[in-house]
């Protein structure tokens, strides 16, 4: 009797356990999917750069090479910041400030990325270089990555929801901002070795400097060009 009863018990027990296991597996899958790098917006000019960028993200994540001092932003894998920089998001209200803030986020990501790439195993680095069709030495890699970062951001900024979505994501991440990386890339995790110092943060909201060229001066220059045509 013990055998059939034990089998029946196992069947009943499994009926209860299987849904729980499936729920756990699905939750784990969703969590893993949310951690993967992706772009919110499709790319036109930056299509190739976007494709190579996601490959680079995959290789870095596979090797566990992530700077612990910076925080990634879901949907914007070419932008990163620390708590001080990300906390500025709600205060950004002008195009000038937005431009300066975005450039800082991009620069932080690039500096962290250079450190991460320099620690990438040679085999994976060569795979990235081969796919990107570039010579595999650090100077060329950095130039390519910086160029692609600029192209991708310029491409994505053409979408009218770009800043709105970015601010919303940054605000969400700032609430529970924590670094997920395991590698130390900056000596000073507060200012990121001066990249995100207090002077840099204040400069974001400073009024753009005038080049000193007045409208009257420009008028005179235009008139002189009309009077002295080079043809």
Q: Is residue 168 in some structural domain?
A: yes
Give yes or no: residues 46 and 160 share one domain: yes
pLDDT at residue 109, rounded to an integer: 98
Give yes or no: residues 26 and 88 share one domain: no
Please tell me the pTM assigned to this model: 0.75
pLDDT at residue 53, rounded to an integer: 96
Q: Is residue 99 in some structural domain?
A: yes
Q: Is residue 47 in some structural domain?
A: yes
> What is the tally of structural domains in the chain?
2
Q: How far apart are the first and last CA of the chain?
A: 111
Give yes or no: residues 92 and 153 share one domain: yes
Confidence label for 210 from pLDDT (cuts 50, 70 and 90): low
Tens of pLDDT, residues 57-116: 999 999 999 999 999 999 999 999 999 999 999 999 999 999 999 999 999 999 999 999
Give yes or no: residues 110 and 180 share one domain: yes
Give yes or no: residues 129 and 149 share one domain: yes
pLDDT (mean) for 49-63: 94
Range of the domain at 109: 40-209
Owner of token pair 């027990």? 13
The answer to whether 208 and 96 have CB atoms below 8 angstroms apart is: yes
Give yes or no: residues 31 and 139 share one domain: no
Give yes or no: residues 89 and 16 share one domain: no
Q: Is residue 218 in some structural domain?
A: no
Give yes or no: residues 28 and 82 share one domain: no
Q: Is residue 54 in some structural domain?
A: yes
CA dist list (Å): 48 to 69, 91, 97, 133, 200: 29, 34, 29, 11, 32
Confidence label for 198 from pLDDT (cuts 50, 70 and 90): very high
Give yes or no: residues 49 and 29 share one domain: no
Give yes or no: residues 107 and 132 share one domain: yes
pLDDT at residue 183, rounded to an integer: 87
Q: Is residue 228 in some structural domain?
A: no
């Amino acid at each position: 009797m013990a055998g059939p009863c034990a089998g029946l018990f196992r069947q009943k027990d499994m009926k209860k356990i299987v849904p729980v296991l499936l729920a756990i597996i699905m939750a784990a899958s969703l969590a893993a999917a949310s951690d993967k790098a992706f772009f919110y917006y499709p790319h036109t000019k930056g299509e190739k750069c976007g494709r190579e960028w996601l490959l680079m993200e995959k290789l870095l994540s596979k090797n566990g090479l992530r700077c612990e001092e910076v925080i990634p932003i879901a949907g914007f894998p070419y932008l990163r910041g620390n708590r001080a920089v990300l906390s500025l998001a709600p205060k950004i209200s002008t195009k000038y400030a937005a431009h300066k803030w975005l450039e800082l986020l991009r620069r932080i990501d690039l500096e962290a990325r250079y450190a991460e790439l320099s620690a990438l195993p040679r085999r994976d680095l060569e795979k990235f270089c081969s796919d990107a069709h570039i010579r595999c030495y650090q100077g060329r890699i950095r130039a390519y990555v910086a160029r692609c970062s600029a192209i991708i951001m310029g491409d994505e900024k053409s979408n009218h929801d770009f800043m709105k979505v970015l601010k919303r994501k940054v605000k969400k991440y700032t609430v529970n901002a924590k670094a997920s990386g395991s590698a130390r890339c900056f000596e000073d995790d507060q200012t990121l070795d001066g990249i995100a110092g207090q002077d840099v943060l204040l400069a974001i909201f400073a009024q753009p400097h005038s080049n000193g060229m007045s409208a009257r001066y420009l008028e005179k220059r235009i008139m002189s060009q009309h009077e002295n045509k080079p043809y």
